[in-house]
Structure 1
């Protein structure tokens, strides 16, 4: 009872709800400020108290802070879950059923302005009406309750029955859809399983095929090794026989020269003739490896990492011209004028001291240019096509190589990892002369594959995927594409094609 009494003390007698901004008037009664403004007649004169009718001046309204704090604390205690059967607004028992709002309400709600004009019924009668139906209602109930309410109940029951049938049909449809969805998911899982097995089987075949191809290449290389060894042994035997014969002839000539006069004059022509016809001509021929490293599907695999490379014109030598949006470059200097032009440019540019190359921003001595790309990680592949058959060099380099003055110094020692490309073939620029590793005309297009993860840059024939050479450049953090062109030489970087 104490809690109920406290609630009554904290309830506005106008709105029958907790005080909101409570104010006190001259007679001592308290009301919500908004409720008091709505209940009194507009004007500046005194107004009667809604409870005791005692007149009070509008200027006598005083905020009741203590009552406001007490109301706030009481409401805060009731912010938890509302017990079953109680009104969530007033925490009073739900004893009535509002026919207009179709929901249970308490006695305090009935007296509020929200429900003053609504039709109410005891909640037990409302429940019984819904359960039994409206045809069994007694005559006295027809008198006690409006006919409109009874027909409303009847319609509501019909609607609920129809709604129940509709929900049953919907449930049946959803269950059928659920069954179909389950079958679809099962078939999809079977397809995924089948596709996984197919992929595994096909890649297993590919692995076996690659193993067989590897064995075939190893057999070819072994056969070539045996044939080359046999030929080298034959050449060595022939050379040893020639040396042995020549040694015997030298000994014989020496003995003949030291023989007595009579013996010296006996048939010296035979020794002299054999000395003259002794053949010492022997052509040395360095054996070459004819079995190339050509892995099936290598071209397709490399194109998965193809990137667009464009030439950085701001790094280029003055004699290089560009077109095709930075993918084509040509050295317009002729072979006869290049030495003179290079010397004059060196003099004008002041590059007499080759040590001062740290802050060079473009090539001023060699006909070179860098790519715009800067590679710090990942895998990258691009191709270069030579158009006129003249000598070029392609690869990767550090960013601080633009002060180099001698093309013979282009090598990993100065930060350039490239291959030299001429009519004789391709060979790596290592700082010393080398023999071609791929003859023409096969390598009219070369591919460069840079793997920053392994720190390697590899070169391939872009036509048949034959491996040309591999450098290790793992110690460099930033690498850029590198291009060198001999006089009148030109090259083009083909556009990227979808290799996936």
Structure 2
């Protein structure tokens, strides 16, 4: 029997593939057991043969072992290399192209259940159609490749140009900063020369004052001796022109005015304002920490002390110190808001880095600003606001400014007249500095060991008010 005839005998007429578990029915035809079960109507009654239409009962199914063995032997023999142009399942010529599965199939595959609903086309027509599509796709890809190559060339040129720009910019930055270094060095020398000149002039003035005072002392000593000798002389000698001696004593000038020595040369670095602005942060007050007399507006950026000076409780320093000591002994819980002083903390908690913010005095009355520890809200006396208590701040008004320290209060510095003060916290350098926000003039710096957590601190005198300016995008 030829191979094609043998394959036809070993093929199920339902699935058009080799028999799988072949069975025979009453009319003698053979089918796959699974194909036959799928073809009859459920219910268990008689069914018609798919080929001759003769009725047969499901109980009449008989396994065809001989056909199964022959099918298996033929299948094994067909498992060798498939000749080109033949179907790997049916060994039939590939004459059709299945659009759904996107592969060539034979005529037997077309009749199988797996391909009955699929779109088929003659293989030569499908070949021509897809060849034309692939050629068009190749042209399109070639055009895209040319465009990408052009972009690559442009990118290479841009990269070269960019590298040159980076090199030039690096040289420009180095040159400009070298100029700036020279400029700052010159400015430093200028300030130091100005300070040296002031020092020499002051020393000269002091020397002149000391010489004049020494001459006055010598003159007074000489006059005291003459007056003493005159007073011890006899009556006739004493009364020899005594008025002249008295006139000389009265005319002796001792009204030597002494001026308080102050350093007039200020420390004002060029571009300090711009450098500080780089570290500017938005600061808002934490209203829950505020004294009850403080009122707020502008989303916590405006603060006012509503208490007048007459209504604010006044205690002696000794009593305040004793009360604070007594309260500190009894208090075991953390105070969460100020009860004694008109203070408020900022919401910000600084643990590292550099930070800068500004505080504006509205009305010229006394206010203070700076940084503090988080646990200082139980403080009872304004005279104890100092680094020793965990507060690093300066106090200012229209009358002048002074840093808050535990030392005896110095007269306030009247220059410059401050409206807005900048607070600069450098956590790593363990310092907090204060500047005039108008011109960047340095006012004061505290250097000490900080705790890990610091917060903005604000104090307001009676009827005083302050504003924390909004931080703009450009800072």
TM-score (norm 1): 0.70
* Distance (Å, rounded) in 2 between the aligned partners of 1:370 and 1:156: 78
Q: 1:416 to 1:111 in 2, by over 3 A?
A: same
Q: CA deviation at 1:46?
A: 5.2
Q: CA deviation at 1:428?
A: 0.8
Matched, 1:227 2:201: yes
Q: 2:427 aligns with which of 452, 463, 471?
A: 452
Q: CA deviation at 1:97?
A: 3.2
SS of aligned partner of 2:224: helix
Give runs of aligned pairs for residues 8-23 of structure 1, distance below 5 A. Answer: none
* Distance (Å, rounded) in 2 between the aligned partners of 1:258 and 1:116: 150
Is 277-286 or 298-307 further displaced after alignment? Answer: 277-286
Matched, 1:474 2:474: no
Query: Are 1:411 and 1:417, in contact at CA under 8 Å, matched by a contact in 2?
Result: yes
Q: 2:179 is matched with which residue?
A: 205
Q: 2:149 aligns with which of 149, 166, 175?
A: 175
Q: 1:36 to 1:116 in 2, by over 3 A?
A: farther
Q: CA deviation at 1:111?
A: 11
Q: 1:305 aligns with which of 252, 275, 279?
A: 279
Q: CA deviation at 1:271?
A: 2.4
SS of aligned partner of 1:360: coil
Q: 1:94 to 1:484 in 2, by over 3 A?
A: same
* Distance (Å, rounded) in 1 between the aligned partners of 2:16 and 2:218: 134
SS of aligned partner of 1:386: strand
Matched, 1:379 2:345: no
* Distance (Å, rounded) in 2 between the aligned partners of 1:191 and 1:46: 92
Query: Are 1:332 and 1:487, in contact at CA under 8 Å, matched by a contact in 2?
Result: yes
RMSD value over aligned CA atoms?
A: 3.9
TM-score (norm 2): 0.73
Deviations 1:413-449 (A, max 9, x none): 11111112122211111122124345253x1110111
SS of aligned partner of 2:59: coil
Q: 1:156 to 1:368 in 2, by over 3 A?
A: closer
* Distance (Å, rounded) in 2 between the aligned partners of 1:253 and 1:230: 34
Give runs of aligned pairs for residues 91-106 of structure 1, distance below 5 A. Answer: 92-93=80-81, 95-97=83-85
Query: Are 1:317 and 1:363, in contact at CA under 8 Å, matched by a contact in 2?
Result: yes
Query: Are 1:397 and 1:417, in contact at CA under 8 Å, matched by a contact in 2?
Result: yes
Q: 1:192 to 1:261 in 2, by over 3 A?
A: same
* Distance (Å, rounded) in 1 between the aligned partners of 2:216 and 2:16: 132
Query: Are 1:384 and 1:446, in contact at CA under 8 Å, matched by a contact in 2?
Result: yes
Q: 2:302 is matched with which residue?
A: 328
SS of aligned partner of 2:313: helix
Q: CA deviation at 1:460?
A: 0.4
Matched, 1:268 2:268: no
Q: 1:176 to 1:288 in 2, by over 3 A?
A: same
* Distance (Å, rounded) in 1 between the aligned partners of 2:409 and 2:301: 30
SS of aligned partner of 1:52: helix
Query: Are 1:446 and 1:459, in contact at CA under 8 Å, matched by a contact in 2?
Result: yes
* Distance (Å, rounded) in 2 between the aligned partners of 1:215 and 1:279: 43
Matched, 1:236 2:210: yes
Q: 1:168 to 1:492 in 2, by over 3 A?
A: closer
Q: 1:60 is matched with which residue?
A: none
Matched, 1:490 2:465: yes
Matched, 1:418 2:393: yes
Q: 1:253 aligns with which of 220, 227, 232?
A: 227
* Distance (Å, rounded) in 2 between the aligned partners of 1:473 and 1:360: 25
Q: CA deviation at 1:258?
A: 3.1
Q: 1:164 to 1:430 in 2, by over 3 A?
A: closer
Give runs of aligned pairs for residues 327-366 of structure 1, distance below 5 A. Answer: 327-339=301-313, 353-356=326-329, 359-366=334-341
Matched, 1:37 2:37: no
Query: Are 2:85 and 2:93, in contact at CA under 8 Å, matched by a contact in 1?
Result: no
Q: 2:3 is matched with which residue?
A: none
Q: CA deviation at 1:249?
A: 1.5
Q: 2:410 aligns with which of 434, 438, 444?
A: 434
Q: CA deviation at 1:176?
A: 3.3
SS of aligned partner of 2:212: helix
Matched, 1:290 2:261: no
> Structure 2: 5+ residue runs without aligned partners?
1-10, 25-31, 45-57, 69-77, 95-100, 109-121
Q: CA deviation at 1:154?
A: 6.4
Query: Are 1:374 and 1:478, in contact at CA under 8 Å, matched by a contact in 2?
Result: yes
Q: 1:367 is matched with which residue?
A: 342
Q: 1:265 to 1:226 in 2, by over 3 A?
A: same
Query: Are 2:93 and 2:106, in contact at CA under 8 Å, matched by a contact in 1?
Result: no
Q: What is the count of residue pairs matched by the alignment?
A: 406
Query: Are 1:428 and 1:434, in contact at CA under 8 Å, matched by a contact in 2?
Result: no
Deviations 1:61-84 (A, max 9, x none): xxxxxxxxxxxxxxxxxxxxxxxx
Query: Are 1:309 and 1:382, in contact at CA under 8 Å, matched by a contact in 2?
Result: yes
Q: CA deviation at 1:201?
A: 2.6
Query: Are 1:95 and 1:107, in contact at CA under 8 Å, matched by a contact in 2?
Result: no
Deviations 1:153-177 (A, max 9, x none): 6677666666666655554444333
